[in-house]
A = this chain, B = another copy of it.
Amino acid sequence: MSLDLAAIRAAHSRIAPYIHRTPVLTSATLDALCGGSLFFKCENFQKIGAFKARGAANAVFSLTDAEAKNGVATHSSGNHAAALARAARLRGIPAHIVMPTNAPRSKIESVRRNGGIIVLCEPTLAARESTCARVMAETGARLVHPYNDYAVMAGQGTATLELLEQAPHLDLVIAPVGGGGLLSGTAVAAKGAKPGIKVIAAEPADADDAARSFAAGRLIPLEKSSTIADGLRTSLGEKNFPLVRHNVDAIVTVSEESIVAAMRQIWEVMKIIIEPSCAVPYAAIMETRIDVKGKRTGIILSGGNVDLDALPWMKR
Contact = CB atoms under 8 A, between A and B. Distances in A.
Size class of the A contact interface (CB-based, 8 Å): 10 to 19
A195 to B, nearest CB: 32
Contacts of A45: 25, 270-271
A271 B50 CA distance: 11
Interface string A266-309: 01101111100000000000000000000000000000100011
Number of copies: 2
Nearest to A50: B271
A264 B306 CA distance: 12
Contacts of A264: 308
A271 B23 contact: no
Which among A23, A25, A268 has the greatest number of chain B C-beta atoms within 10 A? Answer: A268
A314 interface: yes
A49 B27 CA distance: 12
A309 B304 contact: no
Contacts of A270: 45
B272 A271 contact: yes
A274 B272 CA distance: 9
Interface of A: 23, 25, 44-45, 49, 264, 267-268, 270-274, 304, 308-309, 311, 313-314
Per CB-CB distance, the 9 closest pairs between chain A and chain B, nearest first, are A271-B304, A271-B273, A44-B271, A272-B272, A45-B271, A267-B273, A271-B272, A267-B308, A49-B271
